């Protein structure tokens, strides 16, 4: 298939449809809306289900029902809408159902704005809904990668009977880039045994997130944790750039990872031995990839479009053995390559320290830069 120039949101929608999406339920919210619009036009023509729900709460619960049938289903939204979906995310997880959720993250908190952000990292990676559950979280850095991860998301969701979240950001959703989309696959006829199907002669199926007996709930949760252990082992994905001889390690994901790559390349041209680790699965996190870099690294630089959410995870993995610094922008502002380059050069210039909190040093830099008094 040839490459075509396509917008991120539409590429994800079209890919989902081509890999066998049977039903879609969503609600308009910028900067995600083109995804919903594209499917509103395409799904009915193919005889598949499309519902513009009354709210994100409605949408995620429609996904919950559709997921019970064992057919491929998806919703998409942006940050405030994802907050509303947290109820359903917990229930779907508590019923062990496969579903795909796309979060085209925008600036927050609150209504915030419609600009690109990574402020939902903690909500997606470390929970947000109630109870113990895990989402698989994929973070593409280009439209092409969003296409590939969308196809992968459905496979992983079914393989592990789990929600797979694709965490994009407003710029990736809105940006047009050349990308090659997968070919159409025919819809699968067979339905898994665990799904409700109401077919005479098949055993009765009841799907519920209730375990009214606490020991039964604990056994369910344990089984889920063991499943997650397997996912942690088998499904970690990341990309490494210029890391073989790197003395300085930049860690960034999604669009910010891509911006960081520009900064890393410029720094390399200046003779700085710096490389980039770009996590693709934010959950499961590339733990070993980070740990492997600790001995060779003089220092780490974490960069995000938030207030340092992945920073906490990286600090946990580096365990104070090497300095970890942070550079981020917040509220719908992305860091520019030259800002990340400045942060890399600050590492090289030193002095490096294991003392104090990198967040304090970053706040001092940012306050100087954008100048607000408390």
Partner 1 sequence: MTDSDVKLVYQRPAGFDARTTHYCPGCTHGVAHRLVAEVLEEMGELHNTIGVAPVGCAVFAYNYFSFDFVEAAHGRAPAMATGIKRTLPSKTVFTYQGDGDMASIGMGEIVAAAARGELITAIFINNTNYGMTGGQMAPTTLPGQVTTSSPKGRDVERQGYPIKLAEMLATLDGAAYIARRSLHDARSIRQAKKAIRTAFEAQRQGLGFTMVELLSICPTNWGLNVADSRKWLADHMLPFYPVGDFKVNPAINAAGGN
Q: Which residues bind partner 1 (CB under 8 A)?
A: 22-23, 25, 49, 51, 53-55, 57-59, 61-69, 71, 73, 87-88, 91, 95, 196-201, 204-210
Task: State residue 166 phi and psi, 5-degree precision.
Answer: -105, 115
Q: Which is nearer to partner 1, 53 or 277 (CB)?
A: 53
Token digits of residue 114: 């419609």
Q: Which is nearer to partner 1, 19 or 62 (CB)?
A: 62
- Other Cβ atoms closer than 10 A to 131: 12
Angstrom distance (rounded) from CA 259 to CA 306: 14
Least distance (Å) from partner 1 to the CB of residue 166?
A: 20
Q: Indicate if the alpha-carbon torsion angle 86, 90, 92, 96 is positive or negative.
A: positive
Closest CA to 274 of 359, 348, 358: 348
Q: Which is nearer to partner 1, 142 or 162 (CB)?
A: 162
Least distance (Å) from partner 1 to the CB of residue 26?
A: 12
Least distance (Å) from partner 1 to the CB of residue 11?
A: 24
Q: Which is nearer to partner 1, 53 or 267 (CB)?
A: 53
Token digits of residue 233: 């082992």
Angstrom distance (rounded) from CA 172 to CA 183: 22
What residues have CB less than 8 Å from 14, skipping those under 6 apart? 6, 38, 42, 181
Cα–Cα distance list, 266 to 250, 276, 338 (Å): 13, 12, 9
Q: Which is nearer to partner 1, 86 or 294 (CB)?
A: 86
Least distance (Å) from partner 1 to the CB of residue 128?
A: 15
Q: Which is nearer to partner 1, 85 or 153 (CB)?
A: 85
Angstrom distance (rounded) from CA 250 to CA 275: 6
Least distance (Å) from partner 1 to the CB of residue 51?
A: 6
Least distance (Å) from partner 1 to the CB of residue 167?
A: 23
Q: Which is nearer to partner 1, 97 or 146 (CB)?
A: 97
What SS3 class is residue 304?
A: strand
Q: Which is nearer to partner 1, 209 or 296 (CB)?
A: 209
Sheet holding 163-169, edge to edge: 49-52, 23-26, 73-77, 99-105, 163-169, 136-138, 281-283
Angstrom distance (rounded) from CA 228 to CA 284: 9
Report whether 42 contacts 11 (CB < 8 A). Answer: no
Least distance (Å) from partner 1 to the CB of residue 43?
A: 10
Least distance (Å) from partner 1 to the CB of residue 131?
A: 12
Least distance (Å) from partner 1 to the CB of residue 340?
A: 42
Instruction: Give the angle 14-178-335 at the CA atoms, nearest 5°.
Output: 100
β-strand pairing of 299-304 with 324-328: parallel
H helices of 78-169, in order, are 79-94, 121-125, 143-160
- What DSSP assignment string belongs to 115-129? SB--TTHHHHHS-SS
Q: Which is nearer to partner 1, 201 or 351 (CB)?
A: 201
């Amino acid at each position: 298939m040839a490459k075509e120039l396509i917008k991120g949101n539409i590429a994800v929608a079209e890919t989902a449809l081509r890999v066998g999406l049977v039903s879609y339920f969503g609600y308009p919210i910028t900067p995600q809306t083109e995804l919903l619009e594209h499917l509103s036009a395409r799904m009915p023509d193919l005889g598949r289900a499309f519902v513009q729900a009354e709210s994100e709460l409605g949408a995620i619960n429609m996904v919950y029902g559709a997921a019970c049938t064992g057919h491929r289903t998806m919703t998409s939204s942006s940050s405030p809408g994802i907050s509303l979906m947290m109820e359903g995310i917990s229930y779907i997880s508590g019923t062990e159902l496969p579903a795909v959720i796309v979060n085209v993250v925008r600036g927050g908190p609150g209504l915030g704005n419609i600009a690109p952000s990574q402020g939902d990292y903690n909500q997606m990676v470390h929970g947000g809904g109630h109870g113990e559950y895990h989402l698989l979280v994929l973070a593409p850095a280009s439209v092409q990668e969003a296409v590939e991860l969308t196809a992968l998301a459905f496979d992983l969701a079914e393989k592990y009977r789990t929600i797979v979240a694709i965490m994009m950001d407003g710029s990736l959703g809105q940006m047009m880039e050349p990308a090659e989309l997968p070919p159409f696959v025919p819809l699968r006829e067979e339905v898994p045994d665990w799904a409700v199907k109401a077919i005479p002669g098949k055993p009765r199926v009841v799907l519920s997130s209730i375990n009214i007996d606490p020991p039964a709930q604990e056994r369910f949760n344990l089984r889920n944790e063991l499943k997650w252990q397997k996912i942690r082992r088998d499904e970690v994905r990341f990309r490494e750039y210029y890391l073989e001889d790197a003395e300085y390690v930049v860690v960034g994901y999604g669009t910010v990872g891509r911006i960081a790559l520009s900064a890393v390349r410029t720094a390399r041209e200046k003779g700085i031995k710096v490389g980039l680790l770009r996590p693709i699965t934010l959950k499961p996190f590339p733990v070993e990839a980070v740990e492997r870099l600790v001995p060779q690294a003089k220092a780490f630089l974490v960069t995000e479009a938030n207030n340092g959410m992945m920073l906490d995870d990286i600090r946990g993995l580096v365990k104070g053995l090497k300095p970890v610094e942070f550079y981020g922008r917040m509220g719908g502002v992305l860091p520019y390559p030259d800002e990340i380059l400045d942060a890399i050069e600050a590492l090289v210039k030193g002095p490096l320290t294991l003392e104090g909190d990198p967040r304090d040093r970053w706040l001092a830099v940012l306050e100087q830069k954008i100048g607000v008094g408390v």
